[in-house]
Structure 1
Amino acid sequence: MDIDCLPFNQTGYFSDFICNYVAEKEEVKPFYNRYPNLANFEAQIKEKAESFPEKNREVLYSSLQKQYEGFQLSEATQTHLKKLKEPITFTVVTGHQLNLFTGPLYFLYKIVSTINLTLELKKAYPKYNYVPIYWMATEDHDFEEINYFNFKGKKIQWNPGDGRTGAVGPFENTGLEDVFETLSDQLGNSKNAQTLKDLFEKAYLEHNNLAKATRYLANELFGEYGLVIVDGDDVNLKTLLVPYAQKDIFEKLGHKEVSNTIAEIEQLKSNYGIQVNPREINYFYLKDAIRARLVQQDGVFHVLDTDMKFTEEELKQEMVAHPERFSPNVIARPLYQEVILPNLCYIGGGGEIAYWLQLRSMFDGMKVPFPILLLRNSALVISQKQDEKLQKMNLRVADLFLKRSSFINKKIREISNIDIDFSPQKKQLEEQFQGLYELAKQTDKSFLGAVKAQEVKQKKGLDNLEKRLLKAQKRKLKDQVSRMSEIQNELFPNGSLQERTLNFSELYLELGEDLVPMLLKAFKPLDLKFSILKV
């Protein structure tokens, strides 16, 4: 395996906000406490150790024991579960939706980044223990976002057809037999294909809901590395959240603090976009097949689109009696994670890190330590066959990150047997017009406008000629254009990063059980660069 890398800001696929965070630009620094480098983890460990209650460890351990009932655990995961009770143990967390069969490839990248960071921390600060955590987003209700995955350019979708609503974790796995049959037909009959079939069948057809299926799947893929899987839809864990949920619901603290931060971000010259906006109440009411927003109207708390309502006192009593019925939204969920876990660092994609950067002042207001934020590893995986194509066409991998038109235009200019760059002619034209400007100044200054208009017209004419020549060369070299477009689309399907479209099963068919070890070897989470892996 050959490993190369690109700075994130040279890929064209990451926002300015994230690229400037990675680059430690001054204007981004007010939105986080500590930058993700090894040296900063010493202070993070100290802060978390001093603030994380011992009772929370007991609740966490007890809840995880119940969540893992019926699952076969590796020795590494069992060890990590026990160590979570110790005050010298800390976590590194990533989270993800319950995408069918892991969904996009970056599901694996998140977890591999998390595991590798715990290993680096152990080397740097060996007197502590570090546990990699995968947080399952079991309470999300966006079923349409997770009920499919892509395989070799085709969308394999789960359509239960029963109009189910509410949190996705408890969804029964009915109808997944059809998905299994579809996938089996596509996979073929190789040894690796059979492994994938067995994995899907045991995960989804031998477990009765989506949360259990996803736990099984992640445990099978990463259990030997000690991954611990947390389901936040847990009554005992949510008991720990109640005091913070009350501050959000009754004091509107989350809305106030995050709104202030958004105002600060919007005042920056860089004009960063806002990832998420806070609600006045950042919690849903979760019961049976309902996950609906809590809203306050005229002093009464309503569960949106239902007949349920509470006075303030009734809602406080409900939170104490049934904490499991209060489900944090995208603003409150990060706080929930940090309340129940002895966590040091959250690892996520660009969009996730961008909205976490909006939350620091809310954490300060809640008096909960803000974790170090780390952009997960990203990668482009190039097979040997694809690499041979690239070499044959003399294509640089970095050029493939360009948008299609820019990529083709650049390569046509390079391989054309005639010069399509009219820059020398434009420079010569500018020199000629400079003389006309001098002449106009000496005679009649009103003549300057006419000279300028003529210069613009002639430059535009050269631009048009250059475009027509480029277009003609594209037609002449249409075979090369077709082959270049084909290989770019293989590696960047639908003009997107490979990791956002491909499912891990495509790589597993080729690499088998070497896939995860290969990623573990390749990824260096604190290097903060985009990886290019030739396998």
Structure 2
Amino acid sequence: MEVECIPFKETGYFSQLICDYLEQKKELSPFFNRYPVPGNFGDQIKEKATNYPKEHREVLVNSLKDQYKGVEVSKATQKNIDALENETSFTVVTGHQLNLFTGPLYFLYKIISAINLAKKLNKEHPDNHVVPVYWMATEDHDFDEINYFNLHGKKVLWNKKASGAVGRLPTDGLDEVYGIFASELGNLGLTDKLKDLFKKAYLEHDNLTDATRYLANALFGEAGLVIVDGDNKELKKLLVPYAKRDIFDYTPYEKISETIEALGEVSPDYTIQVNPREINYFYLKDDLRERIILKKGKYHVINTHIDFSKEELLQELETYPERFSPNVVARPLYQEVVLPNLCYIGGGGELAYWLELKSYFDEVGVTFPMLMLRNSALLITEKQSEKVAKMGLHVSHLFMKQHSLINKKIRDISNIDIDFSPQKKLLEEQFEYMYELVEKTDKSFLGAVKAQEVKQKKGLDHLEKRLLRAQKRKLKDHVVRLTDLQNELFPNKSLQERQLNFSEIYLEMGEDLIPLLLDALDPFSKDFIVLKHQ
């Protein structure tokens, strides 16, 4: 497999905040602990070792053993679970929703980033043992975000009325999805293995948590992945002191609000990913997951008739911690309280909200993890790569917005130079002279001169666009071939990894897919990877 690298900032798909973070912009240093380069992990290990209670480790290991009952555990995963009993063992973690049949392709990239990071750290720090962890978002309630996956440009959808935490949803109705999936796959090549994987995961397990655990374990168990379900009473007990500070003292609301303001002062271009609430917990019970708010002196569960006094809510939290579900702001703290974790691996949007959280972690005395951008990749066949070359393009050009790419290609192959930049520059120079003249004579004409400049520039822009459209019609065949290729590799004008399901690539590459990704993706890379395969 041939590997090509494109800097993240040159792809056009990553925010200014993330690009600045990757470049370790000094103004961002207050918002993270240590940058994830190999030399920084030793100090992170030392800090976490002094900040992670032994009793938390015991609860974690016992909970994992309980969660893995009835699961076929690989030797590598069992070794990692057992290793977590030792105070010299730590984790690197990624998290993801329980997307149907893994959802988009980057589900694989997240987990592979964690697995490869653990491998590298185990070589660098032989006195420690680092375990890759996938934290399942079992308590999420956004069913519409996870109830489908794309295959061959079609949406395979699980039609179901759902409420409450998605991990608790029964898998009834997925036999119909399997029928659609199997029909779309047909009966050629590697389809039987994919059908069998779907069937065993979703038709032989009673709820979405167990189905997703089976699927992730089947794909990555041999690589030693450990899967954690946070919807667990014993683990939630560890969260109780922090939940109290959130619900009754508004600690995260205050600290994160301050951080958001501070980020805005660094750059107005930084988009705030999440805003904290005064209370960042849901009440979780059966098929119910609704926010807790303070209303008229009572702690009210919205969209219900459930109310608690402060004393009653404290009692409920102490007695039934499993009924309190952290939101997107509180969940990262829960994860770091539960795990002896060194690093969180996530996408750009995730890292953006993690950067809002450090002051909150500092306030409650929990070590803030290192933050690593997960690997991103574009998988391209040799045939597609040849098409790119024949068009006189580089793969990096395909990351451009489609209209910009077409305009570039038209200009490249046209025998007419349809670029009025020199004319615009000349026009600006002429108007500079006119501005100087007006300054010396009558400044009241400045507005009229400016209006004339704008008008003439717009005229040039309009003419340039008309000529480009004319050339596009003339060179229609080139445009069609180019747009067809870009649409293949960037479906729905988005990154391939956000649209395609792994099954589509598996049909091309088979069982080589995951081993090749494990071999090709480097978690320390600052580049978007292009992987060329047969």
Letter in 2 for 1:383: T
1:468 aligned onto 2:463: no
| Conserved 8 A contact 2:166-2:208 | yes
**1:428 deviation in Å?**
4.5
- Written as runs of structure 1 = structure 2, the 5 A alignment for 1:300-339 is 300-339=298-337
**1:283 deviation in Å?**
0.7
Letter in 1 for 2:133: I
Q: Which residue of 2 aligns with 1:391?
A: 389
Q: Which residue of 1 aligns with 2:225?
A: 227
Q: Which residue of 2 aligns with 1:380?
A: 378
Unaligned runs of 5+ in 1: none
Letter in 2 for 1:307: H
In structure 2, distance between residues paired with 1:235 and 1:449: 70
| CA shift digits 1:342-376 (9 cap, x unpaired) | 00000000111101111111111111000000010
**1:168 deviation in Å?**
0.8
| CA shift digits 1:135-157 (9 cap, x unpaired) | 00001111111000000110000
Letter in 2 for 1:67: Q
Q: 1:460 to 1:326 in 2, by over 3 A?
A: closer
In structure 2, distance between residues paired with 1:345 and 1:3: 26
Q: Which residue of 2 aligns with 1:80?
A: 80
Q: Which residue of 1 aligns with 2:54?
A: 54
| CA shift digits 1:324-351 (9 cap, x unpaired) | 1111111110000000100000000011
Q: Which residue of 2 aligns with 1:351?
A: 349
Letter in 1 for 2:339: L
- Written as runs of structure 1 = structure 2, the 5 A alignment for 1:155-304 is 155-160=155-160, 163-304=161-302
In structure 2, distance between residues paired with 1:171 and 1:439: 75
| CA shift digits 1:511-535 (9 cap, x unpaired) | 1111111111111111221111111
| CA shift digits 1:72-112 (9 cap, x unpaired) | 01100000010000000000000000000000000000000
Letter in 2 for 1:255: Y
| CA shift digits 1:452-506 (9 cap, x unpaired) | 6555544443333222211110110111111111111111111111101100001
Q: 1:284 to 1:468 in 2, by over 3 A?
A: same
In structure 2, distance between residues paired with 1:325 and 1:429: 68
In structure 1, distance between residues paired with 2:443 and 2:308: 77
**1:268 deviation in Å?**
2.9
In structure 1, distance between residues paired with 2:249 and 2:450: 62
| Conserved 8 A contact 2:148-2:155 | yes
Aligned-pair Cα RMSD in Å: 1.8
In structure 2, distance between residues paired with 1:286 and 1:445: 69
In structure 2, distance between residues paired with 1:238 and 1:279: 20
| CA shift digits 1:297-336 (9 cap, x unpaired) | 2332111121222221221111121111111111110000
Which secondary structure does the structure 1 equivalent of 2:273 belong to? coil
Q: 1:478 to 1:317 in 2, by over 3 A?
A: same
Letter in 2 for 1:133: V
Which secondary structure does the structure 1 equivalent of 2:61 belong to? helix
Which secondary structure does the structure 2 equivalent of 1:267 belong to? helix
Moved more, 32-41 or 109-118: 32-41
Q: Which residue of 2 aligns with 1:118?
A: 118
Q: 1:495 to 1:55 in 2, by over 3 A?
A: same
| CA shift digits 1:413-472 (9 cap, x unpaired) | 111121112334444555566666677778877777766655554444333322221111
Which secondary structure does the structure 1 equivalent of 2:284 belong to? strand
- Written as runs of structure 1 = structure 2, the 5 A alignment for 1:385-464 is 385-429=383-427, 454-464=452-462
**1:389 deviation in Å?**
1.7
In structure 2, distance between residues paired with 1:292 and 1:39: 43
Letter in 2 for 1:94: T
Q: 1:448 to 1:303 in 2, by over 3 A?
A: closer
In structure 1, distance between residues paired with 2:87 and 2:338: 14
**1:388 deviation in Å?**
2.0
| CA shift digits 1:202-242 (9 cap, x unpaired) | 00001111000000000000000000000000111111111
**1:392 deviation in Å?**
2.0
Which secondary structure does the structure 2 equivalent of 1:114 belong to? helix
Q: Which residue of 2 aligns with 1:360?
A: 358
Moved more, 106-115 or 8-17: 8-17
Which secondary structure does the structure 1 equivalent of 2:222 belong to? helix
Which secondary structure does the structure 2 equivalent of 1:327 belong to? strand
Letter in 1 for 2:227: I
Q: Which residue of 2 aligns with 1:29?
A: 29
Letter in 2 for 1:395: L
| CA shift digits 1:44-76 (9 cap, x unpaired) | 100110111111111111111111111101100
Q: Which residue of 2 aligns with 1:19?
A: 19
> Out of 504, 507, 512, which is 1:506 matched to?
504
**1:187 deviation in Å?**
1.1
Q: 1:433 to 1:280 in 2, by over 3 A?
A: closer
Letter in 2 for 1:490: E
In structure 2, distance between residues paired with 1:324 and 1:360: 26
In structure 2, distance between residues paired with 1:141 and 1:467: 47
| CA shift digits 1:10-64 (9 cap, x unpaired) | 1111111111111111222211111111111111100110111111111111111
Letter in 1 for 2:525: D
Q: 1:412 to 1:121 in 2, by over 3 A?
A: same
**1:395 deviation in Å?**
2.1
Which secondary structure does the structure 2 equivalent of 1:208 belong to? coil
1:485 aligned onto 2:483: yes
Q: Which residue of 1 aligns with 2:43?
A: 43
Q: Which residue of 2 aligns with 1:527?
A: 525
Letter in 1 for 2:513: L
Which secondary structure does the structure 2 equivalent of 1:526 belong to? coil
Letter in 2 for 1:326: F
Letter in 1 for 2:18: I
**1:5 deviation in Å?**
1.2
What TM-score do you get using the length of structure 1 for normalisation? 0.96
- Aligned-residue identity in percent: 63
What TM-score do you get using the length of structure 2 for normalisation? 0.96
Q: 1:457 to 1:280 in 2, by over 3 A?
A: closer
Q: 1:453 to 1:507 in 2, by over 3 A?
A: same
Count of equivalent residues = 533
Which secondary structure does the structure 1 equivalent of 2:290 belong to? strand
Q: 1:533 to 1:310 in 2, by over 3 A?
A: same
Unaligned runs of 5+ in 2: none
**1:170 deviation in Å?**
1.3
In structure 1, distance between residues paired with 2:428 and 2:364: 62
**1:7 deviation in Å?**
1.3
| Conserved 8 A contact 2:16-2:269 | no
In structure 2, distance between residues paired with 1:448 and 1:496: 45
Q: 1:174 to 1:454 in 2, by over 3 A?
A: closer
Moved more, 104-113 or 291-300: 291-300
Q: 1:464 to 1:198 in 2, by over 3 A?
A: same
Letter in 2 for 1:479: D
Letter in 1 for 2:130: Y
